[in-house]
Amino acid sequence: MEAEMSQFDLDAFTDDESPEASVYTDGGCDPNPGPGGWGAIIRWAGREWVLSGNDPETTNNRMELCAAAAALALLEGMLGRCQVTLYTDSQYVRQGITQWISGWVSRGWLTRSKTPVKNQDLWRRLHRLAQAHDVTWHWLEGHAGHPLNERADWLAREARRALYRGPGAPDARQPDGNDRPMVEICVKSSGHGAGGWGAVLRMGQHARALSGQAPAATANAMLIRGATEALNALNRPCQVTVYSDAQYLIKGASSWLKNWQSRGWQTRDGKPIANREEWEALLAAARPHRVNWLLAQGDAIPADLAWAGELAAAAASEPEAAE
């Protein structure tokens, strides 16, 4: 029994005028000091903005500061004073802004040993921007699997790599213009008896559940179909993050597909790719959107993934519809 597949009406979920935003930042160099990049992800009222920038000669700490300052500056310019929850994997940034900066200011931007504070230009800017908002600062362990921290890290690395691309490379100092609605999708499948899939689409505090089944379908085929149907349910181009705990879907969509297509939909051994029709349908469904495929594991498992699993199991256990 296939679920009703009316579209996920994004217009109904953009009424929240509360200026409460979440920010995820990262930055770094390779080597340090040396060429560096920073990235920031801003989420507000079901929307997402992505920022990145670079510098040919800088330090890890300066890039971390740039990411936080750029995000707060954008919020100030677009929304005014906000309630901001900012996540950084830099103890230098978090401790500096929450513990050290009051002493620096009282001493005229000198340390306790009466030496000038390093990166004073950026600290002064961040200090002013932090006062322009109500900011709660959180530290996240870097490279620990948190999806948005990993995305911010990827943005920072891509911005740094842009320095080596020569003329014609995108200007990583500028926002990418991404004002598309932000949607998260969690997808699971069940292979008991008939195959079933479940998907949960979330935009801010609003969620929608979808599910379906197919006779004698594999769990892998159902995973792909679930992601496809969820993407097809969106009624406009979106910034989408798809979560699954199945490497087959996440690695397939994010990296293997390109190789399969280049080999004419064959494996390295020359065998036909399984579930080709499903993969081609997923490609078509993803085309209007900007999709990030994230493997949910450890502490980075969204709560909606369990809901998607329940939907998939229920769909698989439903009696098959009569012809």
Residue 170 lies inside a defined structural domain of this protein = no
Whether residue 15 lies in the annotated active site: no
Residue 96 lies inside a defined structural domain of this protein = yes
pLDDT of residue 8: 54
Average pLDDT over residues 259-266: 90
Residue 252 lies inside a defined structural domain of this protein = yes
Residue 273 lies inside a defined structural domain of this protein = yes
pLDDT, tens digit, 9 for 90 and up, residues 49-71: 889 999 999 999 999 999 999 99
Whether residue 153 lies in the annotated active site: yes
* pLDDT, mean over the chain: 85
Residues 188 and 148 in one domain: no
Lowest mean pLDDT among 56-65, 279-288, 292-301: 292-301
pLDDT of residue 309: 92
Residues 222 and 272 in one domain: yes
pLDDT at 193 over 70: no
CATH of residue 122's domain is: 3.30.420.10
Residue 10 lies inside a defined structural domain of this protein = no
Average pLDDT over residues 5-19: 52
* Phi, psi of 256, deg, nearest 5: -70, -35
212 vs 320: CA distance, rounded Å: 11
Task: Please identify which of the residues 48, 55, 64, 278 carries the catalytic annotation.
Answer: 64
Task: Please identify which of the residues 48, 89, 184, 278 carries the catalytic annotation.
Answer: 89
Structural domain including 95 reads: 20-162
Task: Please identify which of the residues 30, 80, 138, 143 carries the catalytic annotation.
Answer: 143
CB 229 within 8 A of CB 196: no
Task: Please identify which of the residues 48, 55, 150, 153 carries the catalytic annotation.
Answer: 153
pLDDT of residue 271: 92
Q: How confident is the model at residue 3 (pLDDT cuts 50, 70, 90)?
A: very low
Whether residue 64 lies in the annotated active site: yes
Residue 212 lies inside a defined structural domain of this protein = yes
Task: Please identify which of the residues 26, 48, 55, 304 carries the catalytic annotation.
Answer: 26
Residues 293 and 248 in one domain: yes
Residues 217 and 268 in one domain: yes
Q: How confident is the model at residue 172 (pLDDT cuts 50, 70, 90)?
A: very low
Read out DSSP for 147-202?
A: HHHHHHHHHHHHHHHHTTS-TT---TTS-----PBEEEEEEEEE-SSSEEEEEEEE
Average pLDDT over residues 137-147: 83
Residue 146 lies inside a defined structural domain of this protein = yes
Whether residue 27 lies in the annotated active site: yes
Average pLDDT over residues 63-83: 92
* Phi, psi of 294, deg, nearest 5: -125, 130
